[in-house]
Structure 1
Amino acid sequence: MKILGIDPGSRITGYGVISKEGNRLIHVDNGAIFTDKAKDFPARLERIYRGLAEIIETYRPDAVAVENIFFSNNVQSALKLGQARGAAIVAGVIAGLPVFEYTALQVKQAVVGNGKAAKQQVQQMIKVLLNLPEIAQEDASDALAVAVCHANSSVLSGMLKIMDKVGKTNA
């Protein structure tokens, strides 16, 4: 299973592509889509959408995992971040992919085992888990963490579905 993780941002949107083969997580690619803050906001959203659509076309993931917003001190920033998330989600949906959303707490819990882990702990753990030569750029590292979270969560989701089916047939 190939997963595209996305850390949306109106200025920088991080992406990370991993492959899950059995119990192994394999790094495929990571990077960031930078928008020109001198451009109007709709043009920046288009850049995010087109950049992610190109990544989806190149790597053909089976699923997209996007980090969810959980709080913001600035309403205007939260709205822009929400719109960037929307552009990311639409890129996945238009490509016909299932899109999953995870909070920062869920991502940290899945990667480090502690939902209140520091950003540096997450980055270091991603480096180790994916056998990276160095810590990835911050937004790309966050996106890889979202992909790893989905890889770990999809196993649990699959087990729960099987357990649910077994429970229904035994009832």
Structure 2
Amino acid sequence: MLIIGLDPSLSCTGWGIVAKSGNRLSHVANGQVRTDPAAALAERLVTLDRELSDVIARYQPDRGAVEEVFVNANPQSTLKLGQARGVCLLALARAGMPVAEYATRLVKKAIVGTGGAEKAQVQAMLKVLLPGVALTGADAADALAVAITHAHLLRA
């Protein structure tokens, strides 16, 4: 079973795909979708949708998971994050796969053992859980963590 995890952002959405076979996990791919900050919001959302749809078509994951929105101090940033997250949910649902959502603290707890873990701790654990993984960036690492969390919490 292939699981795609997404770490939504309007500027740089991370994606990561893991294969689950019984209790075994292996890295398939990871990457980031960047949008042009000078482009109009609608154009940036279209870019995000197109790029994610291409990744989904290329790897054909069976299940998807998306990190939940956290509230920023800046309400405008929170709204933009929510719009990018909506595109992520739509891209996965349109592909016909079940989609789960996980809070950041739950993802950190599933990967590191504590919900207050730092990004560096999450990335270090990813290298233990997925030996040889080459992370394309912090957002891709977060997305892989979301995918692994989903794999751990699946009953099947």
Task: Give the TM-score range, shorter chain.
Answer: over 0.9
- Secondary structure at the residue paired with 1:25? strand
| Rg comparison, structure with higher value | 1
Kindly provide the CA deviation profile for residues 90-117 of structure 1, in whole angstroms up to 9, marking residues without a partner as x: 0011111111100001100111111111
Q: Is this contact kept in 2: 1:53–1:91, CA < 8 A?
A: yes
Paired with 2:133 and 2:5, the residues of 1 have a C-alpha distance of: 19
Paired with 2:74 and 2:143, the residues of 1 have a C-alpha distance of: 23
Deviation at 1:43, TM superposition (A): 0.6
Paired with 1:112 and 1:96, the residues of 2 have a C-alpha distance of: 31
Paired with 1:134 and 1:91, the residues of 2 have a C-alpha distance of: 25
Paired with 1:134 and 1:84, the residues of 2 have a C-alpha distance of: 25
> For residue 30 of structure 1, what is the amino acid of its counterpart?
N
User: What does residue 51 of structure 1 align with?
Assistant: 51
User: What does residue 32 of structure 2 align with?
Assistant: 32
> Larger helix proportion, structure 1 or 2?
1
1:41-80 equivalence runs, <5 A: 41-80=41-80
Change in Cα spacing, 1:136 to 1:128, as seen in structure 2 (3 Å) is farther
Paired with 1:6 and 1:85, the residues of 2 have a C-alpha distance of: 9
- Matched positions, count: 156
Paired with 1:139 and 1:2, the residues of 2 have a C-alpha distance of: 19
User: What does residue 118 of structure 2 align with?
Assistant: 118
Q: TM-score, normalized by length of structure 1?
A: 0.88
Deviation at 1:132, TM superposition (A): 2.7
User: What does residue 7 of structure 1 align with?
Assistant: 7
1:67-146 equivalence runs, <5 A: 67-146=67-146
Deviation at 1:50, TM superposition (A): 0.9
**Identical pairs, percent:** 49
> For residue 36 of structure 1, what is the amino acid of its counterpart?
D
Runs of 4+ in 1 over 3 A off after TM superposition: 133-136
Between the two structures, name the one with larger relative contact order (CA 8 Å, sep ≥ 6). 2
Paired with 1:21 and 1:134, the residues of 2 have a C-alpha distance of: 21
Kindly provide the CA deviation profile for residues 63-82 of structure 1, in whole angstroms up to 9, marking residues without a partner as x: 11000012211100000000
Deviation at 1:127, TM superposition (A): 1.4
Q: Is this contact kept in 1: 2:27–2:133, CA < 8 A?
A: no
- Secondary structure at the residue paired with 1:101? strand
CA RMSD after TM alignment: 1.1
Change in Cα spacing, 1:61 to 1:133, as seen in structure 2 (3 Å) is closer
Q: TM-score, normalized by length of structure 2?
A: 0.96
Paired with 1:111 and 1:140, the residues of 2 have a C-alpha distance of: 15
Paired with 1:50 and 1:135, the residues of 2 have a C-alpha distance of: 22
Question: Gaps (5+ residues) in structure 2?
Answer: none
